[in-house]
Amino acid sequence: MSNDFFRLENVAAGYGDIQVLWDITIDVEPNEIVCMVGSNGAGKSTTLKLISGLLKPWSGRVIIGGEEVVYATPDQILAKGVGQVPEGRRLFNGMSVKNNLLMGAYLRKDKEVDKDLEFVYGLFPILKERRKQDAKTLSGGEQQMCAIGRGIMSRPKLLLIDELSLGLAPLVVEQLTETLKEINKTGISILLVEQDVMTAFELANRGFVLESGRVFLKGPTRLLADNPTVREAYMGI
């Protein structure tokens, strides 16, 4: 049975005339953590951009919340409950930590934004301490916390995270991993793109391996972790 919560079906896409993605089919179930791994330039970020509506699919179908979305703009995708923590954090420099978090809630009109702000501060107490500080003065780890916090401020049903561990010390990554599990328990599904396959497999219960813009392998992460090709190519074992 196909999963209607979130699914890409035979999607192709690219930049200008250059095709980057071929026949991508991936899905995420409610309350699930799924990872997408693959070498540099495999097309992981491109896939996330496509999901967020920054890039239009050339062919194939995108299904979010049981509906096919056609020519949706990023704000429409976000309103449908798909938020993104972009590669490299992309915080708004010159704006305070708090204002960065509030940007995540830009589309929301409800009265519970303050409550969610407190929820984020609860997950990352350091952000509360630094809330008035310019976001660019945060350490790498704190910036990633702020970016994740900003991502969940939109109250997504599915959160896309691009390169969680990039440039961060193992201890910080460990901490972020735990927080993501906590976030997941509140009912937010996660699609995690990650270079560090160990971290990705620890967190996710299913995985997709992308290679040259195609889905090359997929399955439960415990099986992928035993796959000789994956072990050799991505885990260095």
Partner 1 sequence: MAATLFFQVLVNGLVLGGLYACIAAGFSLVWGVLNIINILHGTFVVIGSYSAYYAYIYLGVHPFISVVLAGIILFIIGYLFQRGIINRVVAAPVLITLSLTFGLDLFLNNSLLVVFSADYLKLNLANPLGVLQFAGIYVPVDRLAAMVLALFLTCLLYWVLEASRIGRAIVAVRMDREAATLMGVNAKHIYAVTFGLGALMAGSAGAMLSVIFPISPIVSTLYLSKAFVICVLGGLGSVAGAMVGGLVLGVVESFGGLIFGPEHAMTISFCLLILLLIFRPTGIMGKKGYE
Ligand X SMILES: Nc1ncnc2c1ncn2[C@@H]1O[C@H](COP(=O)(O)OP(=O)(O)OP(=O)(O)O)[C@@H](O)[C@H]1O
Interface contacts to partner 1, rule CB under 8 A: 52, 54, 73-75, 78-79, 84, 86, 90-95, 99, 102-104, 106-107, 150, 154
Which residue in 7, 45, 86, 154 binds Mg ion (CB under 5 A)?
A: 45
**Which structure tokens are listed for 15?**
């930049």
- What's the Cα-to-Cα distance from 23 to each of 7, 53, 210, rounded to whole Å? 13, 18, 11
- Does 143 bind Mg ion (CB under 5 A)? Our answer is no
Q: How far is the CB of 109 from ligand X (least distance, A)?
A: 33
Least distance (Å) between residue 87 CB and partner 1: 11
Q: 14 vs 219, which CB is nearer to partner 1? A: 14
Q: Provide the edge-to-edge strand list for the sheet that holds 189-193.
A: 82-85, 158-162, 189-193, 33-38, 206-211, 214-220
CB nearer to ligand X: give 2 or 40: 40
Of 149, 154, 76, which is closest to residue 113 (Cα–Cα)? Answer: 154
* DSSP per-residue string spanning 106-120: TT--STTHHHHHHHH
DSSP secondary structure letter of residue 90: -
CB of 69 to ligand X, least distance (A): 20
- Specify the residue, 45 or 221, whose C-beta has the smaller distance to partner 1: 45
